[in-house]
Chains A and B, each alone.
Chain A
Amino acid sequence: MNIFRLAGDMTHLASVLVLLLKIHTIKSCAGVSLKTQELYALVFACRYLDIFTNFVSLYNTVMKLIFLGSSFSIVWYMRYHKVVRRSYDKDQDTFRHYFLVLPCLVLALLINEKFTFKEVMWTFSLYLEAVAILPQLVLLQRTRNIDNLTGQYVFLLGAYRGLYILNWIYRYFTEPHFVHWITWISGLVQTLLYADFFYYYYQSWKNNQKLHLPA
């Protein structure tokens, strides 16, 4: 464990807690893409299949349970909670996220480190996580104005990915045979997707104006 990875995990944890807090306290999910949340729930479900068979550490297991629990409860809130679901903007959140799932699954079947069920599902979760933010970014562009909690949520998610890249650089130089192109490339693609959001987020912060993305 290195400081970049710990900071990355904590930032990732903060992002889901910010979102859960927003939904739970103000009972609203305005501006939040249910499609992205469903994709994240699928990502964690496919990535943590070995949660009970491959014990890494208490920290690892606890964090996996938190990510599984939070992502599924956010989806539950947005789908079934009688108050929250009313604030879900389903005719704006129209990204066909099934078009993301299938190509990621095919790619995972073609490019993976080992052709076993668990390894393919794990690789699928990496590719899917790389694109899972797209429906949310599209929704932000559509709804123009971003309430600061949703903006903070996306910002923290991007920061977690950036810190993970620093973690991989650190591990590459400190652990002799730590080379994982699949993880690195999908993580890099994911981080690049946030680049333009970061740019507009920074601009709005610098000019101290409401964040809005160009159409």
Chain B
Amino acid sequence: DDVDDAKDEL
């Protein structure tokens, strides 16, 4: 889901 695509950032 889209939430995790911000988690690829440090």
A contact residues vs B (CB 8 Å cutoff): 5, 9, 12, 50, 54, 56-57, 60, 63-64, 67, 113-114, 119, 122, 164, 167, 175, 177-180, 183
Contacts and interface: CB of A to CB of B under 8 A. Distances in A.
A63 B8 CA distance: 12
A9 B10 contact: yes
B1 to A, nearest CB: 9
A60 B10 contact: yes
B10 to A, nearest CB: 5
A122 B10 contact: no
B9 A114 contact: no
Interface of B: 2-10
Nearest to B8: A56
B7 A63 contact: no
Nearest to B2: A177
Given A12-B10, A57-B8, A60-B8, 19 more contacts: A9-B10, A50-B7, A54-B7, A56-B7, A56-B8, A60-B10, A63-B10, A64-B10, A67-B10, A113-B3, A114-B3, A119-B3, A167-B9, A175-B5, A178-B2, A178-B5, A179-B2, A183-B6, A183-B9
Contacts of B3: 113-114, 119
